[in-house]
Chain A
Amino acid sequence: MALVTMLEAIREALDEEMARDPAVVLIGEDISVYGGAFKVTEGLLGKYGWERVIDTPISETAIIGAAVGMSYQGLRPVAEMQFMDFIACCFNQMVNFVAKSHYRWGAPVPIVVRGPCGGGVHGGAFHSQNPEMWFVHTPGLKVVYPSGAADAKGLLKSAIRDNNPVLFLEHKFLYRRVKEELPAGDYTVPLGKLAVRRSGRDLTIATYGATALHALEAAAELAKEGIEAEVLDLRTLMPLDRQGIVDSVRKTNKLLVVHEDVRSGGIAGEIAATVNEQAFEYLDGPVMRVTALDTPVPFSPPLEERFLPQVADITRSARELARY
């Protein structure tokens, strides 16, 4: 079977969902003729027409607002943020309109807000951020962050079919670098379930997105030293698969959390608290974390490299944890 990039897998998910359900429409900036800044929606206008691939003015608030309105009509809009950093422009729509609609007055908002995030491509402070925790902290939203092509397709299909608003984060570094075989046919990957990417007995590395690949690389290296790390790909940050994490920690007794998000207020803190609450007596060492620095994403390559968590940072912390 052919290898498919994550970007192509995302496009396949959009295409197949649009074909399956005429209620699925796309809305965003430069997504029709141009096919999107990263070409995710390329070819969909030709197939589905202007009514279903809707280009908007540069108005993120209007994009989300219109998606919400369409969803009240029973449609399932998929809104694209050209870069996820720009979601800050429609923060009010996201946290006050979208997230609270079902709780406040019982009106579900089945929209997906998707787009590229993450660093490593020298995009600077406004084209590299990981905004997931702004929204994990807002009850009512689901937050999905795949690390591979097969997952991206299956998770995006689940997100589109979900009755709740889903923020779907696509690490732009992975778009064309990850290639996988996709399962045949119409498959979905459930939201809220982590994947065990590698089994191990000595420690658990919990991570998601681009750092899931770093963690696997680190685990391979650690294995040469006799340290068997179990790598968990969280896939969904809200709802978080707390049980899956706790189960793994009960087996390995040690936990290292890795994320590309900044350190303070990152999901690692929430995971550490969960393990404290649910598996404290199983721990043989401190819950450790490898994260980005608590700074804006810097532009120049050596600065950005310093900012981002590297494979070496993971192996170093894992060795330290394994020694406990």
Chain B
Amino acid sequence: MSNFLNYFVNGVARGAIYALIALGFVIVYRATHVLNFAQGAIMGLGGYLVYLFSGPSKDQTFASSWHIATLPYWVAVPIAMLISGGVGMLIERFIVRRFRGRPVFAAIMATLGVGIILEVGAQTVWGSGSLPLRNPFDGKAVQLGLAGLSIRRVDLFTLLVALAVAGGFITFFKKTKMGTAMRATAADQEAAMAQGISANLIFAMSWGIAAAIAALAGILLASGPDRSVEPAISLFALVGFPAIVLGGIDSVEGALAGGMLIGIVEQVAAGYEPRYASFLGNGFFSLTPYLLMLIILLVRPSGFFGTEEVRRV
């Protein structure tokens, strides 16, 4: 039982990151109806930008790469998020905007191309090795009261940040004027424009917010005692797809719930796999999100929270 709870806690920590990733996908999708395949690269970029501003960790065993300042972690992270958001807005303005009204395939391929350029560009600047971040987290764990149940500090921080970001975004989305404008544009673009909402601004805003959140997810994936910024971070973005399919591709709450669920399922599977399912092969747990997604797609294509696609005949 305590094993299960530990796996569960791991899953919650991982799920918080997946929820942020999924949130990024959903924000972009709601605004521009594009699946942002460049998001993985943006996550990696976030990590590299933190490295750029905060420098290498004190551990001297790693060769250092290009950095311009040694700001504290808490200062570098917001800067990195801001710059990533700016990159997201630029992508929307100069590339995605040209694909409005074009087939889905073209937009998907364009974001894939942007992703390749961003990812390889980041590797060109910072190399493809692991760069440990100078971050305040050590390996210490926080006891959770229950017997033998503990959570690492970085995981607890991740969870709290994810909750804060999700809560903040939902408040912004539901209560503020800009959030209402975003929802209005998603519901009916022409009617929203007739009310004086600038659709272009909304699209750029959405891409900016999504990119900043994605960058935060990447930074969190790279923070911690045994983690570092590396090209493999961008692969985590792909687990965001099962999460949004689970929750519904256009539902903010669905993305958060889906991401959390995917994280828990994956980590519990990872915990039990060596003992009970070794015949499925090493690393089978990394497939569980996709298998779950396939089942959901066959049973309920629009996910649990998403709106069903209405097609005019």
Q: Say if A and B assemble together.
A: no
Task: List residues of A whose CB falls within 8 A of some B CB.
Answer: none
